[in-house]
């Protein structure tokens, strides 16, 4: 509901993504730029919008390629959109696409734009492998060297390890801990067992496999073709239909060794992919003859202390959104949560259901509520489908809208956590 009657309604017309692929897989020769332009082009075709009608492009991206630092702009230009369409890249860790979408919603609601393409793109096959800071500093200084002898200075005090390439890892800058380490800690803290994690991961794969088979996922996936061979990629490659409890139990801890509970099997894998949605003002949608799938009802962001609650974003963002939109968890028909780790989802569910957490952390008298598992991620989640950091939000919003229609629901809730201890929740309403 718009908060005052001046604001316009923002509709979600449709969303589309290219198949998500494991990093180092089918998309390994491509840049995030290539993935983004495939997604944008696919969205334009899927929604039948004229490229001339687009007012803005906003794309999320987390690991940038410095050659395309505003990847949204470069991708939009090479996706057949007119040069006159502005484009921005937003970075908010794993909720970058969520931020892109809510920015689009704001532009549309406030009348700044009528038609916005929002989404995200990520290539973890094209990460910036760099030189270390001491080496970089010397290289820059060396540009000012006047005599040949100055080069002797270059190596003074330089250690051998300074010469090694620096491969970025998914670590929190403020704490120095990787996300997996943090989540493993959280699993212990909230008593999420290895068995529970593996069981959750297994059903994520099974649900995704079923959705793949019955064609539910195909609706939101456009085939990608990859130069120079142009093989057709038409399916996500991370879904493991043949996974089972025994296989998952056999995996060794991936982050906290030897007693940790997070494994490669119950954590999301490094993924390449891109996704986009079309956000349009209600009045304009009618004029352009666009059929909407959902209305963006409301959204909220949260942020906590990264040292303590890195992955509890949903547990904070959801109550904030429910309060703001004066709805209760029981009003929600469709839940689409990002699954960074099985443990992260389960910990958040526990917090939401906990009276203690509600009192202590949220200042509420009652627990936020239990989320019925049969309403959560019915077509699988990031654990199975994959998690291209900058793009996942657009996948969640698209799936939530499609599920609303398929399950004949009224309200859908999308929630995600992000590095920096941030969280996002978006509510969609069936139109």
Partner 1 sequence: MAYTQTEKDNGIAVIWLDQPGESVNKLGVEMVDEAEALVEWLDKDPEVKALIFISKKVDNFIAGADLEAMIADRKPGVLQEMSRRGNRLLNRIESLEKPVIAAIHGAALGGGLEVALACHYRIVTESPKTMLGLPEVKLGLLPAGGGTQRLPRLVGLQKALDLMLTGKNVYPRQALEMGLVDEVTHPYALLDAAKASANKLLNTPRKRQRKKSLANLALESTSLTRGFIFKKAREMVEKTSGNKYPAPYKIIDCVEHGMDNGIAAGLEAEAAGLENLADTPQARELIGLFFGINKAKKNPLKTQPLAVETIAVLGAGLMGAGIANVSAANGLRVLLKDVNHENLAQGKKHVWQHLSRKVNKGALSAFERDEIFGRLNGVVDYNTFSHANIVIEAVFEDLNLKHRVLRECEQACDAKFIFASNTSAIPISEIAAAAERPAQVIGMHYFSPVEKMPLLEVVVTSQTADWVAATAVETGIQQGKSVIVVKDGPGFYTTRVLAPMLNEALEILEENGEVRHIDNAMKQFGFPVGPITLIDEVGIDVGAHVSKILSKLVAGRGYKSHDAMIRMFSEGYQGRKNGMGFYHYHDDANTLRGIGKKKKEVNRTAYKFFSGKTRRERHEVSEIRTRLVMMMVNEAAWCLQENIIRSPGDGDIGAVLGLGFPPFLGGPFRYIDRLTPSVALANLERLADAHGPRFQPAPIIRDFARDKKSFYR
Binding site for partner 1 (CB under 8 A): 37, 41, 44-46, 48, 50-51, 74, 77-81, 223, 225, 227-232, 234
183 is catalytic: no
| Residue 49 C-beta: closest distance to partner 1, Å | 9
292 vs 425, beta carbon nearer partner 1: 292
H/E segment holding residue 353: helix 342-353
41 vs 325, beta carbon nearer partner 1: 41
274 vs 376, beta carbon nearer partner 1: 274
**Residues paired with 22 in a beta bridge:** 271
| Residue 187 C-beta: closest distance to partner 1, Å | 42
Which of 211, 279, 417, 425 is flagged as catalytic? 417
For CA atoms 430, 418, 186, 319, give the dihedral sign.
Answer: negative
| Residue 184 C-beta: closest distance to partner 1, Å | 41
Q: How far apart are CA 283 and CA 268, in angstroms?
A: 39
1 vs 232, beta carbon nearer partner 1: 232
Both tokens of 51, joined, read 């490229």
3-state secondary structure of 215: coil
Which of 13, 87, 93, 94 is flagged as catalytic? 94
| Residue 37 C-beta: closest distance to partner 1, Å | 6
Q: Which residue has the tokens 């006159």?
A: 84
Interstrand relation of 224-226 and 231-233 (parallel, antiparallel or unpaired): antiparallel
For CA atoms 95, 99, 104, 106, give the dihedral sign.
Answer: positive
CA 268 to each of CA 298, 307, 338, 348: distance values in angstroms, whole numbers, following the listed order? 27, 21, 10, 16
427 backbone dihedrals φ, ψ, rounded to 5°: -110, 130
Q: How far apart are CA 421 and CA 26, in angstroms?
A: 32
Largest CA distance in the chain: 76
40 vs 362, beta carbon nearer partner 1: 40
351 is catalytic: no
Taking residue 255's Cβ as centre, other Cβ atoms within 10 Å add up to 20
Catalytic residues: 94, 417
């Amino acid at each position: 509901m718009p908060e005052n009657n001046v604001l316009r309604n923002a509709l979600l017309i449709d969303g589309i993504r290219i198949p998500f692929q494991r990093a180092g897989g089918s998309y390994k020769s491509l840049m995030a730029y290539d993935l983004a332009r495939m997604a944008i082009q696919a969205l334009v075709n899927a929604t039948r919008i004229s490229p001339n009608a687009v007012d803005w492009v906003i794309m999320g991206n987390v690991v940038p390629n410095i050659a395309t630092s505003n990847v949204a702009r470069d991708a939009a230009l090479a996706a057949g959109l007119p040069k006159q369409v502005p484009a921005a890249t937003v970075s908010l860790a794993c909720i970058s696409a969520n931020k892109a979408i809510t920015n689009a919603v704001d532009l549309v609601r406030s009348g700044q734009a009528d038609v916005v393409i929002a989404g995200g793109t990520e290539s973890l096959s094209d990460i910036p492998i760099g030189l270390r800071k001491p080496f970089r500093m010397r290289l820059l200084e060396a540009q000012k060297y006047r005599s040949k002898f100055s080069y002797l200075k270059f190596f003074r005090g330089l250690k051998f390890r300074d010469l090694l390439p620096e491969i970025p890892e998914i670590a929190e800058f403020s704490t120095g801990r990787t996300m997996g380490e943090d989540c493993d800690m959280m699993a212990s803290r909230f008593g999420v067992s290895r068995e529970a994690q593996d069981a959750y991961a297994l059903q994520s794969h099974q649900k995704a496999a079923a959705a793949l088979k019955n064609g539910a996922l195909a609706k939101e996936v456009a085939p990608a073709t990859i130069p120079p061979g142009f093989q057709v990629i038409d399916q996500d490659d991370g879904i493991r239909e043949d996974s089972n409890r025994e296989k998952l139990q056999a995996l060794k801890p991936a982050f906290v060794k030897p007693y940790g509970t997070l494994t490669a099997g119950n954590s999301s894998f490094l993924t390449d992919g891109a996704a986009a949605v079309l956000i349009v003002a209600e009045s304009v949608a009618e004029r352009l003859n666009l059929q909407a799938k959902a209305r963006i009802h409301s959204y909220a962001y949260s942020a906590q202390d990264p040292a303590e609650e890195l992955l509890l974003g949903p547990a904070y963002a959801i109550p904030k959104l429910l309060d703001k939109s004066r709805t209760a968890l029981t009003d929600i028909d469709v839940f689409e949560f990002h699954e960074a780790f099985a443990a992260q989802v389960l910990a958040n569910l526990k917090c939401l259901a906990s009276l203690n957490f509600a009192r202590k952390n949220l200042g509420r008298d009652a627990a936020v509520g239990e989320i019925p598992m049969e309403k959560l991620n019915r077509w699988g989640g990031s654990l199975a489908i994959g998690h291209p950091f900058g793009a996942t939000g657009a996948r969640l919003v698209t799936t939530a809208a499609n599920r609303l229609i398929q399950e004949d629901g009224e309200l859908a809730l999308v929630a995600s956590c992000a590095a920096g201890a941030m969280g996002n929740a978006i509510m969609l309403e069936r139109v």
